[in-house]
Structure 1
């Protein structure tokens, strides 16, 4: 492969790695990006898709390699969360204000709302890296996580592969716009989660009030 694909900025910086490593480099970065390590795996998918659009890689192979790597990495993070998540949270949770009481409430919330979070998390930085660990630590049932994980990884992979493949070397403006809209998704998702938490808290308070009515004096 030629390293000169005319790509801008961060995309161009990944070209030498893709030139040397090919599909293995794609799998490595995508896998790490989905398992706690913030590397440019998402950007690597776009670069590989641009290469596929110019005939230097196969677009189906790019999609499959990225999907398998993303799915497998998040599964590994999930298993780590199941086995060590509570220990890690007990040890380090206090540094981010995650007390045992708050963690217990978060566990219930994640079990109820975890599937939508897993489905969309890959489009949000930080959540993409931690979604498997959080799902495991919060005991989201493994079959449900696996299904949502595979589906979310497929959607994420297809979106970025299609963007790179369709735009080709003119990807620059589209890439910057996509990153901008992705940044807007984080506060929107945070507001949605806050609304779910508030609703669950109000429902719980209402239930407690019904279970323990105050006695008039």
Structure 2
């Protein structure tokens, strides 16, 4: 976490964008803590709240699009070849794809709040062949709510730090 804090301190909004994009793709970045910390920084005037939300949203969406396209281009062939190592047979893959077509869009939106799920839904969206427009709609709504929630949480926690 110290590396993340140093990057935010040195590079500001650029670090926020890059860290969130990498975190969504799957690099271990503590996304929720990062956003909460950014909210705290907005409460003490180091960051601007609307700018922080915008940059966070753009970073999250960049990471989600990269994951989507990795799933779209590499997903099925890689899963068919190496899926057996994680007990994902073609039959199970087909079952997961059917489930994802039914519930996937809502899983994308609400999956942001469950670490690990938000990463998996991006790849599965691409693997399942979900249209990019539909994906962007549900991913964007989820990303906006996720960024707003944690930045606002950090803002109010920082604003009332003495009380807490």
> Which of 26, 50, 53 is 2:40 aligned to?
50
Count of aligned pairs between the two proteins:
162
Q: Measure how far apart 1:41 and its partner are.
A: 2.6
Are 1:107 and 2:78 counterparts?
A: no
Q: Deviations along 1:63-101, whole A, 9 cap, x unmatched? A: 000001101210121111111100121122111111001
**Equivalent residue, structure 2, for 1:74:** 64
Q: Measure how far apart 1:13 and its partner are.
A: 6.5
Distance 1:164 1:70 in 2: 18
The RMSD of aligned alpha carbons is 1.8
> Which of 137, 153, 158 is 1:163 aligned to?
153
Contact 2:104 2:121 in 1 (8 A): no
Are 1:35 and 2:25 counterparts?
A: yes
Q: Deviations along 1:158-193, whole A, 9 cap, x unmatched? A: 00010011110766xx8xxxxxxxxxxxxxxxxxxx
Where do 1:179-198 residues align within 5 Å?
A: none
Are 1:25 and 2:15 counterparts?
A: yes
Are 1:84 and 2:74 counterparts?
A: yes
Where do 1:85-164 residues align within 5 Å?
A: 85-164=75-154
TM-score, normalized by length of structure 1? Answer: 0.70
**Equivalent residue, structure 1, for 2:53:** 63
Distance 1:13 1:76 in 2: 23
Contact 1:30 1:42 in 2 (8 A): no
Larger Rg: 1 or 2? Answer: 1
Considering Cα pairs closer than 8 Å and 6+ residues apart, tell me whether 1 or 2 has the greater RCO. 2
Q: Measure how far apart 1:152 and its partner are.
A: 0.4
